[in-house]
Each structure stands twice: as C-alpha cells, then as structure tokens.
Amino acid sequence: MKLGQTLIDAATLDAGVARIAAEIDRDQAGRPALLVGILKGSIFFLCDLAKKLETTPVSLDFLQVSSYGSGTKSSGNVRLQRDLSTDVAGRDVIIVEDIVDTGRTLTKIIELLGTRHPKSVKICALLKKKIAGNEGIPVDYLGFTIDDHFVVGYGLDYAEMYRNLPFIGILEPEPEAGNEGREAANAKRETAESRR
C-alpha cells in the first residue's frame, strides 16, 4: 500500500474542527462536557477540538477498543481494551471518534456507556464513510462525509503507520507490486464483502 491523493488538506481539517467546536459551544451553552476520545485514531482530532472550545468547560477521558487488527478490513468484533477512568453518571458525554465506517465500533461504545447512566451521550466524528448500512448511526457532530476509500493521517492509521500526517490521504494499492498489490486489492474487496 502507498499514500495516494490528499483527500482533506490541513487547512480544510482545521476549518471543519473549528466549525464543530462552535457547534458544541452553542449546544452546551456553558455546561461542562466530558470528551471521550476513542484511542488511538481520535487523538489529533480531540486535541485540536478541545483547544478550540471557548465556552464549554471540558474534561477528557479515553476508551480503547480494537476492531480492525492490522489490515484494512473491519473484523466486526469490537473488544474493549482500555476503559475510562471517569464516572460518566450524570455527565454530558461527547464521544469523539476518528471515522465511522460500518458503525459497529460506535454502536458498541454507545451501548456500553448507556449502561452507566450519563446525563446525555452525543457522537462527534471527524469522518463518516458514505457506505450502505451506516446511515442509521447517529452522529451529532460530523466533520466530513467521504467516499468509500481507506484513508490515513490526522490520527488514522494503516498498521499503526501514517497517524502523524497533518492531512487525510487516500491509501492505495501499489500499482505494479506483486503479492502486496494483490493483497491490497483483496483487502478492499474483502472489506466490501464483510459488510454484507
């Protein structure tokens, strides 16, 4: 796999994050919020978002789940790897996620936090893929809708690489690679198949 075209440049990301911060400030109207970042993909987004909040008193906590393993194919199996250290009871919780693909990860997390009696739970996602089946996932604050590409950068990884890119880029199969190129093409096909 290799880095292809830039999908969302740094300035566009920054403007999107600023817009979301303003929406959260407006909705919270001065009430405190607990931002729950989903590790590791959301960290760059969460940090930039938190810095742009002007009127919302903010606390931070983190959850880690694994769903993807090291490929580009969602396993569909979401495991909790690290729990919160904060009691969410009675709090306005905003879950901060990097990307909504099938929505399985968020569905699990909403289900988990729902059992802990938060005052409210809202979803904030930087990206949402335009794919069949995830329309019903409730995203209260959304940065950008994207077509069905595998993307990296600004926190998003491929096998733990590329998270530190300051923009979102498309990961593409190597043009004339041997096995690796075929594996990438297979991964894309398998991702599509796994959603059915």
Q: What residue 101 binds from Mg ion, ligand IMP, none (CB within 5 to 8 A, per partner kind)? A: ligand IMP
- Give the integer Cα–Cα distance in Å for 98 and 85: 21
Q: Does 74 bind ligand IMP (CB under 6 A)?
A: yes
- Give the integer Cα–Cα distance in Å for 164 and 75: 24
Please list the active-site residues. 101
- Give the integer Cα–Cα distance in Å for 172 and 178: 14
Tell me how far, at minimum, the Cβ of 142 lies from Mg ion, in Å: 18
Q: Which residues contact 102 (CB under 8 A, 6 or more apart)?
A: 74, 76, 131, 133, 134, 195
Alpha-carbon dihedral angle through residues 74, 20, 33, 89, given to the nearest 10 degrees: -40
Residues in contact with Mg ion, total (CB under 5 A)? Answer: 1
End-to-end CA distance of the chain: 24
Tell me how far, at minimum, the Cβ of 107 lies from ligand IMP, in Å: 8
Tell me how far, at minimum, the Cβ of 129 lies from ligand IMP, in Å: 7
Stretch that binds Mg ion, among 7-15, 23-31, 36-44, 145-153 (CB under 5 A): 36-44
Stretch that binds ligand IMP, among 23-31, 56-64, 95-103, 175-183 (CB under 6 A): 95-103
Residue count (the chain):
196
Binding site for Mg ion (CB under 5 A): 41
Binding site for ligand IMP (CB under 6 A): 41, 67-68, 74, 97-105, 150-152, 156
